[in-house]
């Protein structure tokens, strides 16, 4: 299985080099986005390994990113998440501790924290986003080396979902998948198919040749993992017809599809970690860490 791909940028044009690392356990893609001129980089959506059967945690994938960054002579300037993930633990805090680079996510993460604070009955949870070093506002600009980067608020999959537009590349995570798979679900707490539709249309308004990098690939028909497309390809070939159908048609399709989908296996463990910016629960008096799983909290979810 191909679990690594490199997409070259253009130093003169201000386009980034993008390395994608595929995790077969969670079907997630982690990215290292680098400025070819300054060798500064950002890590986007890193995975902290977790085995749900044994409860074991590890840093294999995060360490793979760090080893590749060292071999390439890069310097980490940012550790970025697109949203609090429901299908893998974030390695953002571990990578911050290893590199000193600041962590960041979208400002609307506070809405997700407030939702899950109630679901977990977690009154002491700080739902102000202070677990990250920086909270990005919609439209905010920042730099990776000399690369120009911009944040687009892309709600729908979650209230906090954002797209990072870096040069000619956009990191859309769960908003769009590869054209042969479609688009994100919108039935998580706080999700909205209507908002997702508008977020997709904003991404499709980017220049046709914008490189789009997705956060997951589920290998339809058993093909090899893929995670790069263009705006033009998505508009023409996305199986959910996002370039031609109406908002009402899309919402009807999305909501019907979501009613048939079981929840991700890791949603209840993962959100507990990810609304803390990738921090594991504090050890208890016996030195062990514990996750709290609310029963019957996600009513109406399909059974697998």
Domains held by the chain: number:
1
The pTM of the full predicted model, rounded to 2 decimals, is 0.97
Q: How many other C-beta atoms can be found within 10 angstroms of the C-beta atom of residue 64?
A: 17
**For residue 257, is it within any domain?**
yes
**For residue 205, is it within any domain?**
yes
**For residue 13, is it within any domain?**
yes
Q: State residue 300's pLDDT score.
A: 81
Q: Where are the beta strands (DSSP E) in the chain?
A: 4-7, 17-23, 28-34, 40-44, 47-51, 56-58, 75-80, 89-90, 103-106, 134-136, 141-144, 147-153, 162-166, 169-173, 211-214, 228-230
User: Which is nearest to 87 in space by CA: 288, 280, 273?
Assistant: 273
Confidence of residue 301 (pLDDT cuts 50, 70, 90): confident
**For residue 299, is it within any domain?**
no
User: Is residue 168 predicted with pLDDT exceeding 90?
Assistant: yes
Query: Do 147 and 167 touch, CB atoms closer than 8 A?
Result: yes
For 242-282, the pLDDT digits (tens) are 999 999 999 999 999 999 999 999 999 999 999 999 999 99
Which CATH number fits the domain that encloses residue 175? 3.60.15.10
**For residue 221, is it within any domain?**
yes
Confidence of residue 82 (pLDDT cuts 50, 70, 90): very high
Helix, strand, or coil here: 21? strand
**For residue 234, is it within any domain?**
yes
Domain range for residue 214? Answer: 4-274
Query: Do 199 and 186 touch, CB atoms closer than 8 A?
Result: no
């Amino acid at each position: 299985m191909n679990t690594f791909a490199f997409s070259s940028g253009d130093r003169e044009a201000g386009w980034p080099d993008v390395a994608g690392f595929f995790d077969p356990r969670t079907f997630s893609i982690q990215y290292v986005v680098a400025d070819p001129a300054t060798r500064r980089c950002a890590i986007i959506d890193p995975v902290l390994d977790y085995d749900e059967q044994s409860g074991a945690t590890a840093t294999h994938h995060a360490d793979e990113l760090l080893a590749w960054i060292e071999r390439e002579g890069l310097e980490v300037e940012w550790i970025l998440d697109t949203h609090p993930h429901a299908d893998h633990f974030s390695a953002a805090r571990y990578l911050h501790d290893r590199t000193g680079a600041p962590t960041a996510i979208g400002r609307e993460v506070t809405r997700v924290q407030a939702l899950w604070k109630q679901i977990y009955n977690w009154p002491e949870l700080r739902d102000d986003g202070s677990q990250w070093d920086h909270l990005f506002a919609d439209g905010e600009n920042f730099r990776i080396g000399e690369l120009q980067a911009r944040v687009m608020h892309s709600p729908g999959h979650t209230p906090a979902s954002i797209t990072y537009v870096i040069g000619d590349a956009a990191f859309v995570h769960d908003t769009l998948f590869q054209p042969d798979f479609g688009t994100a679900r919108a039935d998580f707490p706080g999700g909205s198919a209507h908002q997702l539709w508008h977020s997709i249309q904003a991404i499709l308004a980017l220049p046709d040749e914008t490189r789009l990098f997705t956060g997951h690939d589920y290998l339809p028909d058993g093909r090899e993992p893929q995670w790069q497309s263009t705006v033009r390809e998505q508009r023409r070939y996305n199986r959910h017809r996002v370039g031609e159908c109406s908002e009402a048609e899309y919402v009807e399709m999305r909501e019907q599809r979501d009613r048939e989908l079981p929840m991700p296996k890791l949603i209840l463990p993962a959100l507990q970690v990810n609304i803390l910016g990738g921090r594991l629960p504090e050890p208890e008096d016996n030195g062990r860490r514990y996750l709290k799983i609310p029963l019957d909290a996600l009513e109406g979810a399909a059974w697998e």
